[in-house]
Amino acid sequence: EHWIWLSRLPKLQIWQKLSLLQHFHDPEELYNASASALSHLSAEVVNVLREKDLTQAHSILRACQEKGIQLVTLQDSAYPRRLRNTADAPLLLYYKGRLPDWEAQPVIGIVGTREASAYGLTVAKRLSSQISVCGGLVVSGGASGIDTLALQGALACGKKAVAILACGLDRVYPKSNTALFDRILEDGCLLSE
């Protein structure tokens, strides 16, 4: 709940939240920090941190449990190491399915236009199939067009894929990808910030 609290605090940029996590062990320690422990921070940041209402965090956790959505935090070993090392790494990732071992294989992102030519769609599917057969993990968005064909290509050769969704995991967008997302969940995962 404290991870959700920190990730959803308004008026703090991600770099500020990441900086806070470098000083405090975890969001719960930050949440419970005394005034003296926060004295090195600006008054603006301290004012934001005074927001201690966990109602929204409880609600989100409850909804996740009801919908089979799991969370992985920036400090969890299952969090993608390469993502963790970026300047704007999300504090939390929400997912359904099985997280891959991100370090066990090359992770190749394939993304593109929603309004691709027939040739572009064919190449996306063929390329992702070849990446998968060679041991790579195909990661793409869940949008129609190139993203959809890239995910289909990985699944067509019996491999897993990861779809990173721009929306929450509690809704399917686009609706036309309902069956695709169900197939991904058989061995891969859907992921969202």
Mean pLDDT by 10 residues, the chain (193 residues): 96 95 95 96 95 96 97 96 93 97 95 95 97 97 96 96 94 92 96 95
CA atoms within a 13 Å half-sphere pointing along the CA-CB vector of 25? 4
Determine the 3-state secondary structure of 184 from DSSP.
helix
Confidence at residue 177, expressed as pLDDT on a 0 to 100 scale? 95
Q: Tell me the three state secondary structure of residue 109.
A: strand
Residue 99, pLDDT score: 96
Q: Give pLDDT, residue 102.
A: 94
CA 133 – CA 130 distance, rounded (Å)? 5
CA distance linking residue 57 with residue 6, whole number of Å: 9
In this predicted structure, what is the pLDDT of residue 171? 87
A 10 A CB-CB count for 100 gives 19
Structure token pair of residue 185: 């969940």
User: Which 8-state DSSP code applies to residue 110?
Assistant: -
Neighbours of 161 (CB within 10 A): 25
Handedness of CA 29, 31, 37, 38 (dihedral sign): positive
For residue 136, the 8-state DSSP code is P
